Structure 1
Amino acid sequence: MKRPILIPPCPGWKEDFNLPNAPTKVDPSPILLNSNHQDDIYLETPRNSVNTGGLLTLCIPLSITTIILGARIIATSIQHNDYESLLTISILISIITWQVAIYFRLVRTAPRDEPIRFNRARQKVYAYNFTFCWWNPFIPWPIKIVSYDWKDVRAERWRKQAVTHQGSHLVKTGIMLSVVEPGTNKVIDRFSLSNTYGEESIWAYICTYMQHGLDAVSPAPHNEDHNLLLWYQFAKRLAPEVKWPEAIDHESRTAPHTAPLKKVELP
């Protein structure tokens, strides 16, 4: 029976993939992987931790229904002096309002993309991570941009099962990237590579690219600029654009011998 290697393993752990510089166990495949950019220096892959379109679709009818039903039930309760029902519905409306507030904030603050850059020339990984609290819409939800050595990155496949309202079982799988303290299996940071697919071929593709370069892999399907939206992408228009800090943006897209950005002295 397989046991987790990392301390601690990711939630829903099912399998550890090969080390970043070790031979891959499966053939690399770009079928389940898209790229924002791909050349001999770096590969950028897109991510989305939040389905803003789905949340917006849920928020609008939920908000309208809550207002209409809440107003009718409150009026009826007051008319019949049914204060117990009034208290119950008030608590329920407060909970739903709280949830809707979280949904709307997610729609407004989740970035249009959360890309990861795998810089082969520098052997480093750069991640544009959005962090949020699912139960508190009133605390900061920052963008955390991190950079780690490729050799310290590990990949784990996770699998989670949930029961829907109809009683059916919904299975989700994905790949988590875990960063370990150098020379140990102790995890110091984690962020997702894929929240949709858990196939090892995705990790094998990235490893092959980082180990052997662009000639060793087939081109991954290319995305358009994530800040340029189609006319029907209404939810994403509410979201902030992806904006890397200038120094990190330059470093993550260039080779080590590239001259750093020059600071401009203001008069």
Structure 2
Amino acid sequence: MLFTAPLLDKPAPGWKRDLPSPDQPSSCVPYPPVLPNAPNHLDSTYMELPRCTLSARGIGVWLAIFVLGLSVLLLTAPLIFPLAPGESIDWGFILVCLGLSVVLIWFSIHLWRMDVKAPRDEPIRFNRLRRKVYVYRFHHDGLRPFSRTAWGVRTEVYDWDDLRAEVSSVYSPMGTGGLVESVSIAVVKPGTCQVRERFHFAHGTMQGEMYWAMAQLFMQQGPQALPHFPRPPRDWNNEDVSFNLARRLAPKVHWPAKMDLESRTGP
């Protein structure tokens, strides 16, 4: 089903199209060989899908170290270039070096925390019996890189019927650059198209559309409607991350005990 105009108020930035709503037939058939990971867990009660805000881990750590080194060079630049005899101190040059170094330090801390503080996985659980969706989300704030409250994991629960999936395309100046497509999930007010909040669901249109189709098939028909995955689930908490500094320092996934029990059981 193809929607030529946004259904939600307001649509996602860079909106391209809406995916079928929870009670509609899925728009595609999931094909396991093209999906990067199998579900973390699947039984008759709930399905847990892997999810990550960052498409790649490990680059930001080394980039942060490099940017921090540049800031140190800028701080020491006025000392490296000594004054010639009779030359007065160039306060403008000193202020520019100081200002740039502060910006670079700020940027390096943001890069470091984005790569290290994000958990190894940000799973999303679909509970068929409760018709609830449980989301393990990493929150961050680029304007407050030193804040403790603005950075960290929050677990949230939503009604399955209030979720809508959208495909969007935005320009990304990082990595390969250009337009990057992704699928996000919007939470609407019950019975309306008014968006309360949004969160990231998957990188790439094909991957996101297939994972959303899996969620629809599971919630509508049960686990027997899903295809067989030849590869076993990935153990995010106990995998070998020896050669990836960011993933080695990243916190493991730990659901709050009460929500963990609720999300894995029926009413």
Q: TM-score range by the shorter chain?
A: 0.7 to 0.9
How many aligned residue pairs are there? Answer: 252
- Deviations 1:95-126, CA, capped at 9 Å, x for gaps: 00111122223344211211101112222110
1:98-177 matched pairs, under 5 angstroms: 98-139=106-147, 140=149, 141-162=151-172, 170-177=178-185
Match of 2:66 in 1: 61
> Conserved in 2, the CA contact under 8 Å of 1:114 and 1:242?
yes
Backbone CA RMSD of aligned residues: 2.2
% identity of equivalent residues: 35
TM-score, normalised with respect to structure 2: 0.86
AA aligned opposite 1:92:
L
> Conserved in 1, the CA contact under 8 Å of 2:118 and 2:152?
no
Match of 2:224 in 1: 215
CA spacing shift, 1:190–1:222, aligned 2, 3 Å: farther
Question: What residue ranges of structure 2 are gaps of 5+ in the alignment?
Answer: none
Question: What residue ranges of structure 1 are gaps of 5+ in the alignment?
Answer: 257-267
- Deviations 1:6-57, CA, capped at 9 Å, x for gaps: 1111121111111112112322333325221122221111122134412112
Distance in 2 (alpha carbons) for counterparts of 1:186 and 1:74: 55
> Conserved in 2, the CA contact under 8 Å of 1:52 and 1:106?
no
Match of 1:12 in 2: 14
- Deviations 1:231-261, CA, capped at 9 Å, x for gaps: 22321222222111111001111222xxxxx
CA spacing shift, 1:164–1:122, aligned 2, 3 Å: closer
Distance in 1 (alpha carbons) for counterparts of 2:31 and 2:198: 24
- Deviations 1:195-229, CA, capped at 9 Å, x for gaps: x2112333222211221112112134443321113
TM-score, normalised with respect to structure 1: 0.86
Structure 2 residue 51 is matched with structure 1 residue 47: yes
Structure 2 residue 33 is matched with structure 1 residue 22: no
Distance in 1 (alpha carbons) for counterparts of 2:146 and 2:75: 26
Alpha-carbon shift at residue 130 of structure 1 (Å) = 1.0
Distance in 2 (alpha carbons) for counterparts of 1:21 and 1:134: 37
Alpha-carbon shift at residue 164 of structure 1 (Å) = 6.5
Distance in 2 (alpha carbons) for counterparts of 1:78 and 1:152: 65
> Conserved in 2, the CA contact under 8 Å of 1:130 and 1:142?
yes
